[in-house]
């Protein structure tokens, strides 16, 4: 089955409309297309995410499109929901106005011990500022806090673990930390154990390839191997922010199992 469940559109920070993405999926021979607008609870970062006001309109728009394309392309309405302690939970209860078909649970921000919010993936500069201002310039502490937040997120009822090592985004060539260091390997192992226990699916996310940050997916090859060893299942995901990117680098991961979220026994 050719499918992508991680798709952003003009409803959040994507470039193209849902219709333009659906047309691209048809042209590329997709069987299934899932939309996953960024979704945050009220209070923060709303310029690139669904607002509480927009959420039901988004759902109605995607459902109408699904009805229109029925029989030609299966369209699902999902959300990419953040875990940010005290502000956002990746759960069905939190997103009841959307009544999503599935939820991708992602961590883009870390609540620090001091109660601040560290940005993970906005830009190298914002990441550096987070490490400097909230972690005393200790990159290891920042990375470990990221993986800890991913493990915490697993307590909520979502389906797909989104980019579980997003913290690598700006780390091409080991610019900020060594991904073979024992402490980093341990952080991956602890997280792989927690994911395996949760029974959740992990996405193999090619979004850093399409945007030129990395030449590999999230999770990294080493992290994927750990997850596979523990019996974790994967979906292939583009994290597309444009209609043309919905199958970016999929040929490199063609051995990956593709499952329809919510229909997994």
* Residue 165 interacting with Zn ion (CB under 5 A): no
| Window contacting Zn ion (CB under 5 A); options: 152-160, 216-224, 233-241, 253-261 | 233-241
| Complex with Zn ion: residue 106 or 242, whichever CB lies closer | 106
Q: Choose the binding region for Zn ion from 10-18, 178-186, 219-227, 236-244 (rule: CB under 5 A).
A: 236-244
**Is residue 120 within 8 Å of 108, Cβ to Cβ?**
yes
User: For Zn ion, which is the closer residue by CB, 198 or 206?
Assistant: 206
State which residue, 91 or 114, has the beta carbon closest to Zn ion: 91
Beta strand 74-82 with 102-106 is: parallel
Stretch 133-162 residues interacting with Zn ion (CB under 5 A): none
Our finding on whether 82 is near Zn ion (CB under 5 A) is no
Q: Choose one: 65-73, 89-97, 145-153, 237-245; the region binding Zn ion (CB under 5 A).
A: 237-245
| Cβ closest to Zn ion, residue 17 vs residue 229 | 17
Residue number, 37 or 231, with CB nearest to Zn ion:
37
* Smallest separation, CB 36 to Zn ion (Å): 6
CB of 196 to Zn ion, least distance (A): 22
β-strand 3-4 against 109-111: which pairing, if any? unpaired
Residue 239 as a binder of Zn ion (CB under 5 A): the answer is yes
106/258 with CB nearer Zn ion: 106
Q: Characterize 146-178 residue by residue with b for buried, 16 or more Cβ atoms within 10 angstroms of its Cβ, and e for exposed.
A: bbbbbbebbebebbbbbbbbbbbbbbeeeebbe
Q: Tell me, residue by residue from 100 to 119, as one string, x for binding to Zn ion by CB under 5 A and - for no binding.
A: ------x-------------
Q: Please give the distance of CA 226 from its chain centroid, rounded to a whole number.
A: 19
Site residues (CB under 5 A) for Zn ion? Answer: 80, 106, 239
């Amino acid at each position: 089955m050719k499918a992508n469940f991680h798709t952003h559109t003009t409803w959040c920070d994507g470039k193209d409309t849902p219709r333009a993405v659906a047309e691209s999926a048809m042209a590329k021979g997709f069987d299934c297309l899932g939309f996953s607008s960024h979704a945050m609870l009220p209070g923060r970062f709303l310029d690139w995410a669904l607002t509480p006001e927009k959420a039901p309109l988004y759902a109605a728009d995607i459902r109408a499109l699904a009805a229109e394309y029925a029989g030609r392309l299966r369209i699902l309405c999902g959300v990419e929901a953040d875990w940010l302690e005290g502000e956002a939970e990746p759960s069905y209860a939190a997103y009841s106005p959307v009544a999503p078909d599935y939820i991708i649970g992602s961590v883009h921000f870390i609540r620090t011990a001091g109660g601040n919010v560290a940005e993970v993936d906005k830009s190298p500069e914002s990441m550096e500022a987070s490490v400097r201002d909230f972690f005393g310039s200790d990159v290891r502490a920042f990375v470990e806090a990221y993986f800890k937040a991913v493990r915490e997120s697993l307590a909520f009822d979502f389906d797909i673990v989104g980019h579980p090592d997003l913290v690598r985004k700006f780390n091409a060539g080991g610019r900020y930390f060594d991904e073979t260091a024992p402490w980093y390997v341990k952080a991956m192992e602890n997280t792989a154990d927690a994911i395996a226990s949760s029974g959740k699916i992990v996405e193999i996310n090619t979004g850093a390839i399409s945007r030129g940050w990395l030449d590999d997916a999230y999770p990294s090859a080493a992290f994927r191997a750990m997850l596979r060893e523990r019996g974790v299942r994967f979906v292939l995901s583009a994290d597309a922010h444009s209609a043309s990117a919905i199958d970016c680098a999929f040929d490199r991961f063609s051995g990956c199992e593709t499952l329809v979220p919510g229909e997994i026994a």
